């Protein structure tokens, strides 16, 4: 693929938090919306490494590490809620002088995208959800209270450190042979930083819960759902339920694919996104 775009990757101070982002910018297609990529839980922009080159051939692409994840700050003062994530992302978009976006959210990032569509609908043209989280309630009070126990991050760290990262990564894909050692090492890096576990605790404490069926019905943007048929993390029935609850929604299911849709099917995902963007949708 021929590279025809400028790449900017840096850490910027956004709403008093250091945020890492990658911006693949086309100077000659500024009239098009920017495709915004939001990763899932315990992930980062790394999860879009295969998808970005395909998307960036035709559109400017912005990928962000949410606070608490990847190369962004593991802040002790940031409120790790979906609404706060959405607000921070809009602040970054304003800083970059981006006028219109098509947000693409994977897993937990799908809920961040849906919150964005509700918060600033005029800035969102269309929405793409990749194996999106859905219908999860807020953590029970006893767990939120337990998150304030001083040694809570230590317990979370012990839980994660017992896991075999290769096995964990193999669980979320369909074809186990696609899991490479370099990918395991990259995903495991997050767990080498003790601040990461404090961030996870704060996500547990602050996350509001996914949008309800009633709230989803208020979303009027055209929405594309892309799902792996063999998703062990967020089963396909969640996607089908989202399709029923969000008014203007279409769904495509990838065969022989697990939860990591953007990594397992990057070229096909890009193709589905381009087809969706170029399709005329009737106003609801």
Q: Coil, strand, or helix at residue 170?
A: helix
Determine whether 259 is an active site residue.
yes
Task: Kindly tell me the sign of the dihedral angle through the C-alpha atoms of 199, 204, 206, 210.
Answer: positive
Instruction: Report which of 101, 5, 113 is spatially closest to residue 53, judged by C-alpha positions.
Output: 5
Q: Which of 107, 132, 133, 199 is catalytic?
A: 107
Determine whether 81 is an active site residue.
no
β-strands 101-106, 17-25 pairing: unpaired
User: Six-digit token pair at 169?
Assistant: 């990564």
Give the end-to-end CA distance of the chain in Å, rounded to a whole number.
Answer: 37
Q: Which of 39, 106, 206, 259 is catalytic?
A: 259
DSSP character string of 9-34: EEEEEETTEEEEEEEEE-GGGTTSPE
**68 in Cβ contact with 75 (< 8 Å):** yes
86-89 contact pairs (CB < 8 A, 24+): 86/112, 86/115, 86/116, 86/119, 86/120, 87/15, 87/119, 88/14, 88/15, 88/17, 88/19, 89/36, 89/38, 89/64, 89/116
Q: Round to whole Å and give the CA distance between 62 and 27.
A: 14
Cite the active site residues: 107, 259
């Amino acid at each position: 693929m021929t590279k025809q775009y400028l790449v900017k990757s840096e850490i910027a101070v956004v709403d008093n938090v250091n945020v890492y982002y990658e911006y693949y910018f086309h100077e000659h297609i500024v009239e098009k919306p920017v495709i915004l990529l939001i990763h899932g839980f315990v992930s980062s922009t790394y999860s879009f490494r295969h998808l970005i080159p395909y998307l960036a051939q035709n559109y400017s692409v912005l990928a962000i590490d949410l606070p608490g994840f990847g190369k962004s700050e593991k802040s002790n003062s940031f409120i790790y809620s979906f609404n706060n994530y959405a607000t921070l992302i809009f602040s970054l978009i304003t800083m970059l002088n981006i006028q219109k976006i098509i947000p693409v959210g994977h897993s937990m990032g799908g809920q961040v995208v849906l919150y964005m569509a509700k918060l600033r609908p005029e800035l969102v043209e269309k929405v793409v959800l990749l194996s999106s989280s859905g219908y999860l309630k807020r953590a029970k009070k006893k767990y939120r209270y337990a998150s304030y126990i001083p040694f809570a991050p230590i317990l979370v760290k012990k839980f994660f450190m017992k896991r075999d990262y290769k096995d964990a990564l193999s669980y979320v894909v369909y074809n186990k042979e696609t899991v490479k050692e370099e990918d395991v090492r990259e995903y495991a890096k997050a767990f080498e930083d003790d601040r990461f576990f404090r961030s996870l605790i704060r996500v547990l404490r602050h996350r509001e819960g996914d949008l309800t069926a009633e709230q989803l019905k208020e979303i009027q943007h055209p929405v594309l759902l892309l799902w792996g048929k063999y998703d062990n993390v967020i089963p396909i029935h969640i996607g089908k339920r989202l399709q029923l609850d969000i008014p203007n929604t279409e769904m495509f299911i990838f065969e022989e694919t697990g939860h990591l849709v953007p990594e397992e099917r990057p070229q096909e995902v890009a193709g589905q996104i381009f087809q969706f963007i170029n399709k005329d949708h009737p106003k609801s």
